[in-house]
Amino acid sequence: MNILVTGGAGYIGSHAARQLIEAGHEVVVVDNLYRGHRAAVHPKATFIQASLTQKDVLEKAMREHQIEGVMHFAALAYVGESVTQPLDYYQNNTHGSCCLLEAMDVAGVKRLVFSSTCATYGEPELMPIVETMHQQPINPYGWSKLMVERVLMDYAAANPSFAFTALRYFNVAGSAADGSIGEDHEPETHLIPVILNTILGKRESITVFGTDYPTPDGTCIRDYIHVEDLVAAHITAMQSQSDGAQRFYNLGIGRGYSVKEIIEAVERVTGKTVNVEYGDRRPGDPPQLYANSDKIQNELGWSPKYTSIDDIIATAWGWFSNHPDGYND
């Protein structure tokens, strides 16, 4: 297939482009490089520097490269930033997705896999989270993604041949197994990279926010999925699409790890001690978030290959230890 990957210079999008190319697909990457890295773009991908709002550029790319499907990763994704700068998130994530759909509509592209988020669920009362649970985001980031899900449903209802799959992620982690591409954010807020950066001396310490949660060790529990497993789910989802299909799936490994467990795992993998400080809880941090991903496993046959947190962290360490300055090395 000829696939357009939005956000293909970012963490997940770059892994997606690589896996697609290795599977024999033709890939066009569109990224404005606001937070992506040109060096992360696969050398065999066609690269177009553009924003989602440049509909004419997107439409031209789809026509010229005979695009058959779109994997849509481009988004702002910092929860805290979305609270202080909500308009940026609605403009980029929600409006940008509408612009992408308009370009697809004009170019006649009928297949989309959308990068959604577990943040659409807000603070669910029961664990694990299943797709039928009520969605009530607690921040603009979650709302900006949930609105796109609504837009996709409405657009699909008006266009019976259009098919989409929305994949709701939990915590994405790890890097390419060969260490060639990986995670490089500025600022970095994800737990595993923050711990690894602390070990590398790029941070003085890591702060654990809250040790009095109703969990076995008092720290928050989250579900971690390896980036390559996540991308494999996208490819499986796109290959299984048929006219009019509207699908929603959770992506996770089905169990959670606490902050303390992640720190201990990093110390096991690296053989180094992490400098840890303890602070108060952060507002809006639920005690536990982890997925039930039985639906995608049963319906599409996808399952995660990385189910050990040590194995996930080992691939991340392979990237960070060899690229302490990320793509600026």
Q: Phi then psi for 93, rounded to 5 degrees?
A: -75, -45
Which of 11, 89, 141, 257 is an active site residue?
141
Show the tokens assigned to 127.
């664990």
Q: Is 307 exposed, middle or buried (0-12, 13-18, 19+ CB in 10 A)?
A: middle
The values of phi and psi at residue 108, to 5°, are 80, 25
* Cross-strand pairs, 30: 6, 48
The dihedrals phi and psi of 10, each to the nearest 5 degrees, come to -90, -175
Instruction: Look up tokens 């805290």; give the residue.
Output: 80
Active site residue 141: yes
3-state SS record for the chain? CEEEEECCCCHHHHHHHHHHHHCCCEEEEEECCCCCCHHHCCCCCEEEECCCCCHHHHHHHHHHCCCCEEEECCCCCCHHHHHHCHHHHHHHHHHHHHHHHHHHHHHCCCEEEEEEEHHHHCCCCCCCECCCCCCCCCCHHHHHHHHHHHHHHHHHHHCCCCEEEEEEECEEECCCCCCCCCCCCCCCCCHHHHHHHHHCCCCCCEEEECCCCCCCCCCCEECEEEHHHHHHHHHHHHHCCCCCCEEEEEECCCCCEEHHHHHHHHHHHHCCCCCEEEECCCCCCCCEECECCHHHHHHHCCCCCCCCHHHHHHHHHHHHHHCCCHHHC
Give the catalytic positions in this structure. 141
